[in-house]
A and B are shown apart, each in its own frame.
Chain A
Amino acid sequence: MAALVTVNDLHVTFPGGGTGPVHAVRGISFTVERGECVAIVGESGSGKSVTARSLVGLAGPFAEVRAAALEVDGRDTGGYTDRDWRRLRGRVAGLVLQDALVSLDPLNTVGQEIGEVLRTHRVGVAATRDAQVTALLDAVHVPEPAERARQYPHQLSGGLRQRALIASAIAADPPLLIADEPTTALDVTVQASLLRLLAERRAAGSTLLLVSHDLAVVAGIADRVLVMRDGLIVEQGPTQRILTAPEHDYTRMLLAAVPTAASRGHRLSSTTRSPLPAPAVDPSRTVLRADGLHKHFGTRHAVNDVTFTLARGEILGVVGESGSGKTTVARIALGLLEPDGGTVHLGQTRWTGVPERRRRPDRRRLQVVSQDPLSSFDPRYTVEKLVAEPLDLRGAARRDRVVELLERVGLGAAHLRRHPRELSGGQRQRVAIARAVGPRPDVLVCDEPVSALDVSVQAQVLDLLADLRAADGTALLFISHDLGVIHHLADRVLVMHDGRVVEQGPVEDVFARPEHQYTATLLAALPVLTG
């Protein structure tokens, strides 16, 4: 039998603005056999999503798709009319996108969304539609399916929502299921359970085409991996071979860039294993201390008895899933939020429970780098003004110091006059870091600083942070949902769950011998690069 999907020399072009057309996919060929699970892996702009969407004729309203062959389920889609495509969509290929909160119509109930597929493709009859919907939700292991069907997407948890989205994609029983970043933005335990669900679909006979930025996520489920970059497939092969014996430099770079236990103490942005400079932690000098912090939001106990210390030159990782209270802890530490109970000291200075006026002189000893640097930049400011703002310098001295800071983070004088919105995500985060280290702070609070970045850029930023703390002795309070990042970078770790610290200690002890059940669950859910 022929392959389910055959793509030969696919090109996708978007008419660009002033810069001319954008060639998003530039002549790629691949096949997906029936019953197989194939993963397309790449960073943003690699063309992986566009490729997947081209298979259902949804590359975009202005996209121009050309291919020598683009066959799905034995039929060439070249010359397909809108009507032909509609018969294919949902019936031959189901599509699951990232984050069902925006991928399901928020104004419809989950049941209406799933029922719509059945109605469109005339699966079953109207009288039994509710029962069909319930059965579908049950098939993707949504508890109390009949009740959930009557709820709206925002009323469900992220995991259930994503399951409902999958239910709608498989409603008309298509042989092919395309999942575009199906687990991104989900907590690690939820991600693990969704990956199990996808594996189950595959065992039941579905063919899967996964699209992901994360090699580790697809490693456990895909038979074959296609690595894409700049619209081309740079390498493809069996998953095991790609992970253990990558042939292309780019694949090697991607693998090396993933922060894990194994990468600890070494540079991520280099394929040859080179050690990071040794940190100089001075345990006798506590730069930040929190004692018994509590914070309530309404009836929710967001932060419940959190205590920690941070020594000079130390990196303390705070890890937890969404809603665990880790960002609230960061905001309290920054003096942006008053705790309901407990105290924070910055060095010897009382930091909470004092008027803002008293904090001001010491503010610059404690700086912050956030997940979304753009929102922390005044939209009118150039890079120079942004980096210069926390510095008490004028004229040429100021300019020199800004250039020096930019050079430290791998930028330069050429960027002075640029506006942050003209920079890439990685460059913006570098500007944010340059600005934060400008006043030579004792403590740098990093709140998910690499979560929005591609893995290769994340590698560079993590290396940069490690270099900075080794050189300056700056302590880092590093908040992340990503256990790999924490394991790679932090000296000690604080595991948070439901506002409480369930476990803390040196990273290697905690990750090797978790004492708390929750930590063990998190670690078990972490997808690993087997190989």
Chain B
Amino acid sequence: MSIALPEQATSPVAALAPHPDPAPSRGRRFAPGLAAAGVVLLLVAVATVAPRLLTGTDPLAADPFHALEGPSGAHWFGTDQLGRDVFTRVVHGARYSLSIGVISTLLSVLSGGILGLVAGLSPRAVDEVLSRALDVLSAFPEVLLALLFIAFTEPGTPSLIMAIALAFAPRYGRIVRAQTLLVRRSGYVEQAVTFGLSRTRLVWRHILPNVLGPLPILATIGLGSAIVNASALSFLGMGPQPPSPEWGAMLSESRNYLRVAWWAAILPGATLTITVISLTAVGRRLQRRFEGRR
């Protein structure tokens, strides 16, 4: 449901005229937004690894006498229809969203990356076949491809992870292939040929590092998309099943009480959004730094 920007095609016509650069270059000034994003990600990481550090309550402990209570000192995010503490559930839910996102992103980066690399390094015929295959996979909208995968398997965390990984792999495959071709045809690889480097050493010394360098950054931005898509599928009931405190599933459960208790749906959603914004902001910042370096 969320999209990371694909690498922008740089303008084919570079400005040739002598031109003083009017854009004030961004120095390494302190960026409050970025610092906030860092803190958010740190908190989410803590919630994932050790949720008990942030809350002592049981995410499944129901208390019907205190159902649908608004946010207060005792219940920061209020309580849901079963009287469970929403804040505690949000904290414990980080583990689901983050692990599903991270594992599926790793899988899709790995599979897409290998496919893209092989396509980019292979002779034209092989490349043609592989990149057509990637085109075909990309033709399926991501959520629908994931739905299709789940239709063939069982709803639940493992198939959700696989579905998201499958849906996102073509994106990474295409990016890595394009990057591989770019590096392969670059002036510095040609230069290395004139040093008498063997093909294997060319690949290891120049092509792989320059292709894989930007991948962690892309994966950081892609992680946000993976998390949102995973929670969207959970929202549709295709992910971790109730009473698991997965963020998307929580929204789905509390949606029916929206009229009386907005907090039970909106606050988990807001947490999810802030997490994704932080990931994207940090990823883009890294990307800008990385591109500035080239």
CB atoms of A and B under 8 A apart anywhere in the complex? yes
Q: Per-position contact with A for B207-222: 1 when CB-CB < 8 Å, else 0?
A: 0011001000000000
Q: Which of B114-122, B129-137, B194-202 contacts A (4 or more CB under 8 A)?
A: B194-202
* Partner among B13, B18, B21, B187 whose Cβ is within 8 Å of the Cβ of A376: B187
| Residues of chain A contacted by B19 (CB below 8 angstroms) | 49
Q: Which of B22-30, B85-93, B256-264, B276-284 contacts A (4 or more CB under 8 A)?
A: B22-30
Is A62's CB under 8 angstroms from B196's CB? no
| Residues of chain B contacted by A22 (CB below 8 angstroms) | 20
What are some 7 contacts across the A-B interface (CB < 8 A)?
A98-B17, A181-B17, A185-B16, A362-B196, A375-B188, A376-B190, A439-B195
Q: How many chain A residues touch the partner (CB < 8 A)? A: 50
B124 at the interface (CB under 8 A from A): no
Give the interface size bracket for B toward A. Answer: 20 to 34
Tell me which residues from 3 to 37 in chain B have a Cβ below 8 Å from any Cβ of chain A: 13, 15-28
Tell me which residues from 53 to 72 in chain A have a Cβ below 8 Å from any Cβ of chain B: 60-63
Q: Which of A9-17, A240-248, A298-306, A487-495 contacts B (4 or more CB under 8 A)?
A: A9-17
A18 at the interface (CB under 8 A from B): yes
A102 at the interface (CB under 8 A from B): yes
Q: Per-position contact with B for A327-365: 1 when CB-CB < 8 Å, else 0?
A: 000000011100000000000000000001001111110
| Residues of chain B contacted by A24 (CB below 8 angstroms) | 20
Contact of A60 with B17 at beta-carbon distance under 8 Å, contacts A370-B187, A377-B188 already known: no
Is B27's CB under 8 angstroms from A44's CB? no
Is A14's CB under 8 angstroms from B16's CB? no
Is A62's CB under 8 angstroms from B24's CB? yes
User: B residues within 8 Å of A by Cβ?
Assistant: 13, 15-28, 186-188, 190-198, 206, 209-210, 213, 293-294
Is A375's CB under 8 angstroms from B187's CB? yes
* Partner among A18, A62, A106 whose Cβ is within 8 Å of the Cβ of B22: A62
Q: How far is the CB of A19 from chain B (nearest CB, A)?
A: 9
Docked Cα-Cα span, A62 to B24, in Å, equals 9
| Residues of chain A contacted by B194 (CB below 8 angstroms) | 334-336, 363-364, 366-368
Task: Give me the 5 closest cross-chain CB pairs, A-B, nearest first.
Answer: A363-B196, A17-B25, A18-B27, A375-B187, A60-B22
Known A17-B26, A62-B24; 14 more pairs at CB < 8 Å: A14-B21, A60-B20, A60-B22, A98-B16, A98-B18, A102-B16, A103-B17, A185-B16, A360-B198, A376-B187, A379-B188, A380-B210, A389-B195, A439-B195
Docked Cα-Cα span, A274 to B259, in Å, equals 91
Docked Cα-Cα span, A334 to B191, in Å, equals 10
A318 at the interface (CB under 8 A from B): no
Docked Cα-Cα span, A370 to B188, in Å, equals 11
Q: Per-position contact with B for A92-113: 1 when CB-CB < 8 Å, else 0?
A: 0000011101110010000000
